[in-house]
Structure formats: C-alpha cells, structure tokens
Amino acid sequence: LVAEQADDVATSLSRLAKIIPITERDRRRISREIKRRRNFMPVTVRENLDWSEVAKIEVHAPDLPGILIDVGQSREYPLGERASHLLGYVAAVSERELTGEPLLDLPGFRIGKSGVEKAYDLNLRGKAGNSQMEVNAVGRVIRELSRQEGQPGADLSLTVDLALQNFAVDRLSGEQSAAAVVMDIHGGEVLAMASTPGFDPNAFNFGLSTEQWRAIAGDPRSPLTNKAISGQYAPGSTFKMMVALAALEAGVLGTDHRVFCRGFTTLGRSKFHCWKKYGHGWMDMHSGIQQSCDVYFYDVARRVGVDRIAAMAKRFGLGDKTGIDLPNEKAGLMPTRAWKRAAVGVPWQLGETLLTGIGQSFVLTT
C-alpha cells in the first residue's frame, strides 16, 4: 500500500479486506507504519499470497487505489532443522531494529536474526541502490533525476563439512535434548555443530502465526537455543583432568598419590558418594582418571583448593568465551572463593570444593 496513491487509505483497506483476510492487528500495524514513513514509501499489507489471491486483487485493481502487488525473493534453507542453529534464519525488520538505513524500510525486507545469518548480516545483505526524485510542494513525485543500482551481498563459505554435520545430527536424533561439536584440533575450525531439537528456519521466512511462535518459544527443550554455545551445563567428570593438572603444577601431590575408594568419603557429617557404589579400592592418578573415580578426585580437590583449580581451568579457556563468530555465545562459569562472596554473599564451603573436583557445584561450561 502506497499512501500517496490511495484516495483514502481506510477505504482501500476495507475494499481489499473483502478479497483477502486482513486482521485488526494488521490494520493497526499498517496505520503505525504509514505514520512513521513518508507517503511515497510502500507498506506491506499481506505477504505470501497464493495465485488465486493475486488474481483477485489484480482483477479489482481499478477499485483499489494505492494497492499494488510486488514480487520478492525469499531465503530457502534446504537443510531445514539440520543446520538451523548454525545458519540461523532471517525475518522481517522490527521497529527497534530500524537504524535509518533506507534498505530496512523496504517492504518484506529480511535481516538475520540468529546464527551465521545474524553474524554476517551486513556482508550478506549487500548495499541498497537509490534514486533521486523531483517532487512538488505536496510531496508528489514529478520525475526521476538519477538512479544508482544496488549491489548484491557476498557469498559466504563455512568450514562445516556437510557429511559430518548430517552424521552428528543423525546421531543426536534419538535424544530429547543434546548438542555436539566437531573441531579441527590444528586450526580450530568448526567442522560440525549440531543442537537438538532444532527448528525449521523456512517457517520464520514466511512468518509464524501466534500459535506457532508460542509452541516453539514455550517448548521446555528450548529448540531456539544453540546448546553448543549458549547452553551452560556442569561438565562432570571431563573436568577431572583440570583438577589433576592443578594439583601437579602446585606440587600438592604426584601421579603416585594413592587414595582408597570405598564408595564414598566423609566431610563432617556429610557423605560424598562415588559413582561406583562399592568403591574402586586403591587408586592413583592414572587409575583414578581411567576409572573416573569420584572419591579420588574429592581428595585431590580438597588438597589443591578451588582457587588453584579455577586458575588452571581458566588457562584452558574455561569460564571465558571462545570468540566464535556466532551470536549469543555464553562464557560458562569458573567459581572461586572471591566469586562466591561477590555473587552470593556467603563464604565458600569445603564441600563445594569437593563437588568442584568432579565438575559439579557451581562449575558451568558450554
């Protein structure tokens, strides 16, 4: 709808509403956009019309001043859910995303909202063309003085291996909620990144209904969250290597340090259990790692202390962002005595050090 070309906007919309459905919400949005934009700028009334609706509008065009059909292009995501978190999706520009760039005012224009689409939006978007118009005193266009064509966006190549991505997604498909990342150890390139459940980015391209959005946003499995970079979880036993390294570097103990595991250890009146109910027997560092003995690492953590464990983990990047070129990455959390005092307002407890030793307590990683 071009307000300048309509005799009366309300009348044109009322006539159009007899041909295609226009909700009251659509009318309020259209009215708001018309007030915000100049009269010669088109405003989107409805998108994704079928050929029957297009034909009806064209037939009645003489009775619909200001209403015109426009044909646009849209993204297609052939991988669907299989790369939804990685690639992200595009959707219509919201009012808070308007920056004054003329391109964003175009009806039906889409920008990246997540994933690679958002991270590289400016590169993929290209540059708008422009035309210089001569207008009269009331703002009506008289003639075009000059025109500069727009430039298409850049192509973008990723390091992701499609076969490996499909393999990762297939392996996770039976899980309610899971994530996997495969990286090249030499250069750090991400070869696959999967997070389940996913979502269909094509659905966002055409616009979700209120019911569809509520179903996705309200899903407790968080299908919109890329769990590989935004999900924060206790690392569990994979963290035990950090504890071992911290102890060795501090000189607290050596690899021959032995602990007897009877299935639990005590601290005051509390019991801290091993995953193996009846214990592992005598453990040194090698067997403690091999068997993932919790009791062994309770003892090591108690001797080395949480601050030295945290310092070692920080050197490996835990508790910091990796700097991956995707939006919404979270850093995880590497707790210390000072952190707890500042964040929670109470002193650190020795029992929390024991739990930190097996990658639990306050420890969070992506």
Q: Which residues are tagged catalytic?
A: 237
E strand or H helix that includes residue 115: helix 115-119
How does DSSP classify residue 138?
T
**CA atoms within a 13 Å half-sphere pointing along the CA-CB vector of 247:** 22
Strands (E), the chain: 90-92, 110-112, 130-135, 141-148, 178-183, 190-196, 259-261, 264-267, 270-273, 281-283
> CA separation (Å) from 6 to 2, 32, 66, 127?
7, 16, 4, 30
Helix H segments across 159-273? 162-172, 201-206, 210-217, 227-230, 240-250
Q: Which of 315, 358, 299, 361 is nearest to 335 (CA)?
A: 361
DSSP, collapsed to helix, strand or coil, labels residue 49 as coil
Burial of 13 (0-12, 13-18, 19+ CB in 10 A): buried
DSSP letter string, 70-81: --------TTGG
